[in-house]
């Protein structure tokens, strides 16, 4: 194993897109930021120095950070932010994981521009469990706003309104030639006929689940969220914010230039500018003047594509890569996802949006929850988060618009070390109609079941896949439906769980688990790093 060292200088940089120039926050002046390349088993040491005017923290999305929440990064959950002019060193081991993950800012909406890929190669001498690709490429999908993101979010919050949607989606920071002034902001990938390529696709968008396809080429999915899957071939993939998907693509056409394209999946036909962000898949030796053709992407409200795509995702589940699904459950949790409006006298319409789990909208603390837990500080959080809703109702029945009395609080759930947990996330028919990509820090989990309508504890568990369910760190909870996940709570610490739509996280759709220390000397949270930023 090696030590991989990186220096991340958080700094402002002028960038222009869509005929607009603005300054954005970056790492090392790059957009997207630098890729971290490691091998399974390596230790990664990233010194982050903040030269920008915003407080900063960086999250290594999907890395398990065993006993080491100090390196996880979500602001006010595992650390206080790195202030302007200060540094913090994230020091962690990459154990038992290989594939594609990513890193991003985890404070305010700064991950709009502060993000990059993490590529974890298998151990030396260990091949992929699929044909060796000729070459690999990272494809990071994102969003671009012409206005200053932090400013409009602040303004929208003050007025109690939903912030603007982005002006374009991007592929590796570039919207592609269908947008104004974007000819030169087009990602081009050169390929050779007959060769196979591994694309490491990351959805870094703030608020949109995305389809992705390449005209004239099939995609073979081989891994999601740094876990190998049973390979399957598809024309398009669906990927939620936070998720990663590795696909193999064969450059099997005779020649030509083909558009790769991405466009959002919404659960309702919302009037959005449906222009696809595009990049070019270009066969070597083809002149640039040949016009590419657009791939067929599913329509924006194609829920049946979404459902059938989700069903195809399964763990590889081979002797080398077994799916260790917990068969017996120690702790059953049932969380409703709710939306409503609460009164806000200073807001434009006297109300603002509020989102909740079990009718509790999460309130961010002033100090890091992990420190509060580790040092046993009183009064920072409570561990009385209810295991199920206090007032059950017909979650997906007639459209409901009331907020059912949402309360706010920093309430967490305490989980015994090494217990097996089943969590059913139930979407409700309150105000919004969107799939919610739920992300759990510190763990992967198995997606054992999903369905439309109300979860039925008497019938649905019998249909669970306990053999080869997909294992991941972020999962979409369908509109008006539910998703059941299982994991073993073997990683002590405080672990954030939230909707990876920044909009919803901001409105309170989040909570955290306190996983207690185990009895062994190597089963407790590691000592605090000396340079952990002070609050």
Q: Which is nearer to ligand C2O, 441 or 486 (CB)?
A: 441
Q: How far apart, in whole angstroms, are the C-alpha atoms of residue 242 and residue 244?
A: 7
Closest to 304 (Cα-Cα) out of 265, 247, 261: 265
Q: Which is nearer to ligand C2O, 339 or 438 (CB)?
A: 438
**H helices, E strands: number in the chain:** 4, 32
Binding mask 344-383 for ligand C2O (x = CB under 6 A): ----------------------------------------
Q: Which is nearer to ligand C2O, 189 or 497 (CB)?
A: 497
Structure tokens that stand for 522 in this block: 């190597």
CB 210 within 8 A of CB 236: no
Q: How far is the CB of 459 from ligand C2O (least distance, A)?
A: 33
Q: How far apart, in whole angstroms, are the C-alpha atoms of residue 267 and residue 306?
A: 10
**Stretch touching ligand C2O by CB under 6 A, among 178-186, 315-323, 475-483, 495-503:** 495-503
Q: Is 32 in the site for ligand C2O (CB under 6 A)?
A: no
Q: How far apart, in whole angstroms, are the C-alpha atoms of residue 487 and residue 419?
A: 9
Q: How far is the CB of 207 from ligand C2O (least distance, A)?
A: 13
Q: How far apart, in whole angstroms, are the C-alpha atoms of residue 405 and residue 417?
A: 33
Q: How far is the CB of 496 from ligand C2O (least distance, A)?
A: 5
Q: How far is the CB of 508 from ligand C2O (least distance, A)?
A: 14
Q: Is 263 in the site for ligand C2O (CB under 6 A)?
A: no
Q: How far apart, in whole angstroms, are the C-alpha atoms of residue 194 and residue 426?
A: 46
Q: Is 185 in the site for ligand C2O (CB under 6 A)?
A: no
Q: How far is the CB of 104 from ligand C2O (least distance, A)?
A: 6
Q: How far apart, in whole angstroms, are the C-alpha atoms of residue 226 and residue 254?
A: 32
Closest to 183 (Cα-Cα) out of 87, 253, 279: 279
Q: Residue from 10, 26, 60, 61 that binds ligand C2O (CB under 6 A)?
A: 61
Residues 264-303 that bind ligand C2O (CB under 6 A): none
Q: Is 498 in the site for ligand C2O (CB under 6 A)?
A: yes
The 3-state secondary structure of 212-230 reads EEECCECEEEEEECCEEEE
Q: How far is the CB of 140 from ligand C2O (least distance, A)?
A: 13
Residues 415-454 that bind ligand C2O (CB under 6 A): 439, 441
**Stretch touching ligand C2O by CB under 6 A, among 342-350, 357-365, 401-409, 492-500:** 492-500
| E-strand stretches of 303-429 | 331-343, 351-357, 360-362, 407-409, 413-415, 420-427
Closest residue (Cβ) to ligand C2O? 61
Residues 6 or more apart whose CB falls under 8 angstroms from that of 332 comprise: 387, 422, 424
Q: How far is the CB of 372 from ligand C2O (least distance, A)?
A: 18
Q: Which is nearer to ligand C2O, 74 or 492 (CB)?
A: 74
Q: How far apart, in whole angstroms, are the C-alpha atoms of residue 205 and residue 236?
A: 18
Q: DSSP letter at 463?
A: G
Q: How far apart, in whole angstroms, are the C-alpha atoms of residue 32 and residue 255?
A: 30
Q: Is 33 in the site for ligand C2O (CB under 6 A)?
A: no
Closest to 216 (Cα-Cα) out of 263, 261, 264, 175: 261
- Strand, helix or coil at 436? strand
Helix (H), strand (E) at residue 96: none
Number of residues that bind ligand C2O (CB under 6 A): 11
Q: Residue from 17, 24, 31, 59 that binds ligand C2O (CB under 6 A)?
A: 59
Q: Which is nearer to ligand C2O, 67 or 439 (CB)?
A: 439
Q: Is 242 in the site for ligand C2O (CB under 6 A)?
A: yes
How far is C-alpha 389 from the geometric centre of its chain's CA atoms?
A: 26
Q: How far is the CB of 504 from ligand C2O (least distance, A)?
A: 12
- Strand, helix or coil at 462? helix
Q: How far is the CB of 204 from ligand C2O (least distance, A)?
A: 9
Residues 90-149 that bind ligand C2O (CB under 6 A): 104, 106
Could you list the residues that contact ligand C2O (CB under 6 A)?
Answer: 59, 61, 74, 104, 106, 242, 439, 441, 496, 498, 500
């Amino acid at each position: 194993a090696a030590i991989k060292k990186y220096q991340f200088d958080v700094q402002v940089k002028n960038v222009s897109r869509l005929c607009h120039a603005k300054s954005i926050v970056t790492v090392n002046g790059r957009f997207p930021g630098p890729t971290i390349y490691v091998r399974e088993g390596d230790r990664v040491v990233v010194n982050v120095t903040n030269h920008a005017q915003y407080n900063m923290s960086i999250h290594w999305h999907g890395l398990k950070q065993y006993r080491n929440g100090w390196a996880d990064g979500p602001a006010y959950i595992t650390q206080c932010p790195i202030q302007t002019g200060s540094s913090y060193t994230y020091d962690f081991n990459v154990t038992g994981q290989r594939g594609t993950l990513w890193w991003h800012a985890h404070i305010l909406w700064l991950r709009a521009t502060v993000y990059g890929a993490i590529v974890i190669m298998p151990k030396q001498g260990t091949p992929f469990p699929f044909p060796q690709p000729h070459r690999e490429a990272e494809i990071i999908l994102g969003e671009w706003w012409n206005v200053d993101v932090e400013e409009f979010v602040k303004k929208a919050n003050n007025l109690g309104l939903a912030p603007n949607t982005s002006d374009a989606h991007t592929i590796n920071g570039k919207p592609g030639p269908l947008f104004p002034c974007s000819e030169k902001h087009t990602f081009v990938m050169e390929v050779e006929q007959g060769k196979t390529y591994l694309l490491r696709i990351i959805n870094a968008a703030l608020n949109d689940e995305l389809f992705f396809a390449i005209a004239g080429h099939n995609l073979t999915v081989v891994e999601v969220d740094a876990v190998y899957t049973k390979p399957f071939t598809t024309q398009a993939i669906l990927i939620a914010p936070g998720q990663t998907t590795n696909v193999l693509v064969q450059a099997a056409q005779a020649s030509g230039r083909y558009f790769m394209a991405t466009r959002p999946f919404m659960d309702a036909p919302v009037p959005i500018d449906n222009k696809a962000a595009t990049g070019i898949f270009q066969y070597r030796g083809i002149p640039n003047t040949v016009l590419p053709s657009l791939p067929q992407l599913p329509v924006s409200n194609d829920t049946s594509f979404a459902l059938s795509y989700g069903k195809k995702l399964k763990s590889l589940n081979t002797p080398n890569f077994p799916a260790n699904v917990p068969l017996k459950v120690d702790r059953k949790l049932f969380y409703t996802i709710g939306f409503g409006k609460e009164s806000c006298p200073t807001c434009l319409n006297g109300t603002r949006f509020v989102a909740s789990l079990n009718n509790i909208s999460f309130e961010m603390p002033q100090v890091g929850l992990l420190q509060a837990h580790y040092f046993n500080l009183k009064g920072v959080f409570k561990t009385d988060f209810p295991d199920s809703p206090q007032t059950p109702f017909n979650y997906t029945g007639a459209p409901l618009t009331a907020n059912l009395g949402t309360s706010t609080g920093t309430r967490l759930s305490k989980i015994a070390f090494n217990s097996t947990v089943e969590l059913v996330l139930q979407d409700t028919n309150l105000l919004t109609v969107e799939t919610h990509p739920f992300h759990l820090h510190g763990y992967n989990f198995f997606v054992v079941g999903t369905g439309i309508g109300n979860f039925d504890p008497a019938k649905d568990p019998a249909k669970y896949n306990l053999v080869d369910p997909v294992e991941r760190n972020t999962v979409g909870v369908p509109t008006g439906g539910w998703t059941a996940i299982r994991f073993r709570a073997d990683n002590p610490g405080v672990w954030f769980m939230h909707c990876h739509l920044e909009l919803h996280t901001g409105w309170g759709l989040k909570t955290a688990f306190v996983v207690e220390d185990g009895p062994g000397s190597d089963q407790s949270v590691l000592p605090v790093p000396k340079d952990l930023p002070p609050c």
